[in-house]
Homo-oligomer: A and B are copies of this chain.
Amino acid sequence: MDTQADTRIFDQLESEVRSYCRMWPAVFTKAQGHTLTAEDGREYLDFFAGAGALNYGHNNPKLKEQLVEYIQKDGVTHSLDMMTEAKREFLQTLDDVVLSPRGLDYKVMLPGPTGTNAVEAALKLARLVTGRTNVLAFTNAFHGMTLGSLAVTGNGSKRAGAGVPLSNVTRMPFHRYLGETDTIDLLEQHLDDSSSGVDKPAALILETVQAEGGINIATNPWLRRLQNLLKRHEILLIVDDIQVGCGRTGKFFSFEAANLDPDIVCLSKSLSGYGVPLSVTMFRRELDVWEPGKHNGTFRGHNLAFVTATAALNEYWRDDELTKAVGRKSSTVQETLHSLADEYGAQVRGRGMINGIEFETPEVAPLISQAAFERGLLVETAGANDQVVKLIPPLTIDEDELARGLGLLEECVHDAHREVAVAS
């Protein structure tokens, strides 16, 4: 452990709200690809990737080159929603590389640079377009911390942080929330029954994979049934692809595998590719009922992020190499997890490079995470009770390093189970 690190100013000055620094008590100084280096020189293999913000690794050299060049030539840094060269490049590349090839006729809104800005803009738009106030959200959903996004988020502690009741949202059970019961039956009944007490919603907001919620995976048939039901009732579908978009599940969007065509899509986290703040809210062209300035934000024109985002799209999404690599690495991860599940009893869940394992002894998860840190591996837990070990390495990680990390993980799993066995 990084016992020598000077953490005094954090302890003294920073709010008690801080959290990751408690789990990983090192002061980091350097980052490259899948490696974070602490002040004492210790290196950590990063299977956490900025909670999904670093799909292409830390300080990706190809993006870095573009970024430094742009800064050095005094490209515009801050521009609100003025037009800049960097923004033009970004929009054009987004269209050429992402939207047009997928036949998505979307308008793009820059709602402010964080995920919660994107979700708030999506919710506003859905309500404005439909004139309805209610929105459907799923159990265990995570969409952000500002009041609109928090209202659709499931986590009880975070919801309690609001200090006011969170309203205008109806909660629906996610896929497999009730074992084998198809939870869409309930939604369908609610929508078909005019006395259900569920006011007709403007939209449903969906994560196809609930990442923070515990790596809960919606299957493709379920997703398609869901979208069909919404279309029949003229309810908009918002996909929050903030954590699992940008290739995390293999394809650029997580909903491509199920062939969905969402009305509104939110992207952030890995969108800039470099870990700097950027987000977009995209929606079907005919939904663009916004009046000029009706939503704004100081940092909605973050040009440094446009530059790295453009570079990332050019580098990784003009062909399907990354998608294929995700497929291969996914198999590697799944293999390890299933073998651990065979040994200890566990549920393995995942798609692409977001994978999780929930052991029959749920309290091992935090122990595994802690043991991993001690061995130089960063893995976090997810789920309502931190009962799921969550693996989200950079998509670009070397296969060798991936294997090394999985080996470390196995050791930690063994240790944690031993520890629990001894304690009980």
Nearest chain B CB to A297's CB is how many angstroms away?
6
B78 x A299 contact (CB < 8 A): no
A22, A74, A153 — which one has the most chain B CB atoms within 10 A of its CB? A74
Q: With A and B bound together, what is the CA distance between A36 and B181 in angstroms?
A: 49
A147's partner among B7, B146, B293, B294 (CB-CB below 8 A) is B146
Contact with B along A11-26 (1 / 0, CB 8 A): 0111111111110111
Further pairs besides A14-B110, A163-B202: 11, Cβ < 8 Å: A14-B109, A50-B79, A78-B274, A123-B163, A126-B163, A139-B189, A145-B295, A154-B196, A156-B194, A194-B385, A269-B298
Please judge, given known A-B contacts A156-B194, A196-B171, whether A84 and B295 are in contact too, CB under 8 Å: no
Using known A-B contacts A51-B80, A108-B13, A298-B53, determine if residue A154 contacts B195 with beta carbons closer than 8 Å.
yes
Question: Out of B75, B162, B290, B293, which one reaches A30, CB within 8 Å?
Answer: B75
User: Counting CB contacts under 8 A, is A85 at the interface?
Assistant: yes
Give this chain's copy count.
Answer: 4
Is A277 in the interface zone, CB < 8 Å from B?
yes
Q: How far is the CB of A274 from chain B (nearest CB, A)?
A: 6
In A24-74, the 8 Å CB interface with B consists of 24-32, 36, 39, 50-54, 58-59, 64, 67-68, 71-74
Q: Is the CB of B163 within 8 A of A165?
A: no
Q: Are B199 and A159 in contact (CB under 8 A)?
A: yes
A421 at the interface (CB under 8 A from B): no
Cβ of A260 under 8 Å from chain B: no
Q: Any chain B CB within 8 A of the CB of A167?
A: yes
Query: A28 to B145, Cβ gap below 8 A?
Result: no
Q: Is A422's beta carbon under 8 Å from chain B?
A: no
Q: A31-B74, A167-B165 are in contact. Are A88 and B10 (CB under 8 A)?
A: yes
Q: Decide yes or no: A112 and B120 within 8 Å by CB, A194-B157, A276-B276, A298-B53 being known contacts.
A: no
Q: How large is the interface on A (under 10, 10 to 19, 20 to 34, 35 or more residues)?
A: 35 or more
Contact pick for A298, options B13, B51, B157, CB 8 Å: B51
| B-contacting 9-mer, from A127-135, A248-256, A325-333, A350-358 | A127-135
With both beta carbons as reference points, the residue of chain B lying nearest to A193 in the complex is identified as B384
Q: Judging by beta carbons under 8 Å apart, are A293 and B199 in contact?
A: no
A408 at the interface (CB under 8 A from B): no
Q: Is A128's CB under 8 angstroms from B161's CB? A: yes
Residues of B within 8 A of A312 (CB): none
A116 at interface, CB cutoff 8 A: yes
A296 at the interface (CB under 8 A from B): yes
Contact partners of A384 in chain B: CB under 8 A: 193-196
Given contacts A171-B170, A196-B140, A288-B15, contact A112 B116 (CB under 8 A): yes
Pick from B113, B160, B293: contact of A114, CB below 8 A: B113
What's the nearest-Cβ distance from chain B to residue A248, in Å? 14
Question: Which residues of chain B have C-beta atoms less than 8 A from A54's C-beta?
Answer: 78
List 12 A-B residue pairs with CB atoms under 8 Å apart, sorted by A's residue number.
Answer: A13-B99, A14-B91, A15-B288, A17-B81, A17-B290, A53-B298, A113-B299, A114-B114, A140-B196, A155-B194, A164-B165, A276-B302
Q: Which 4 A-B pairs have the closest CB atoms?
A: A127-B163, A78-B275, A154-B197, A146-B146
Q: Does A151 contact B (CB under 8 A)?
A: yes
Instruction: Tell me whether A77 and B133 are in contact (CB under 8 A).
Output: no
- Identify A79's interface contact among B6, B16, B28, B292, CB under 8 A: B28
Whether A137 lies near B85 (C-beta < 8 A) is: no
Specify which of B7, B78, B165, B242 is in contact with A168 (CB 8 Å cutoff): B165
Residues of B within 8 A of A342 (CB): none
User: A78, B53: Cβ atoms under 8 Å?
Assistant: yes
Interfacial chain B residues near A296, Cβ < 8 Å: 17, 19, 145, 158
